[in-house]
Amino acid sequence: MEKRLTRSTNNQMIAGVAAGIANYFNIDPTIVRLIFVITALTGGPGIVAYLIMWLLMPEDISGEKMA
């Protein structure tokens, strides 16, 4: 089974983007969430990047955590 970058449906806080990225790279979702928050608070494109990924990333329809 090939890895796909999808939004998580079982470990989401807002839209599942951070959890989906974390699942893809096999890291803790908290790290990805912190990166989004830090980039948003320091004037970076954190919020815009999150919104774009929310629109472009497909939802994980299997409902399982990717390995």
Q: Could you read off the pLDDT of 41-66 as tens digits, one per residue?
A: 998 888 888 899 999 998 887 755 54
Rg of the Cα trace of the chain?
Answer: 12
Whether the model clears a pTM of 0.85, i.e. scores above it, the answer is no
Instruction: Output the pLDDT for position 64.
Output: 55
Q: What is the pLDDT of residue 56?
A: 92
43-60 in b/e burial notation, b at 16+ Cβ within 10 A?
Answer: eeebeeebeebeeebeeb
Show the tokens assigned to 50: 């999150």
pLDDT tens, residue by residue, 9-43: 888 788 889 999 999 999 999 999 999 899 989 98
For the packed helices 29-41 and 17-25, what is the interaxial angle rounded to 10 degrees? 130
Q: What is the pLDDT of residue 67?
A: 47
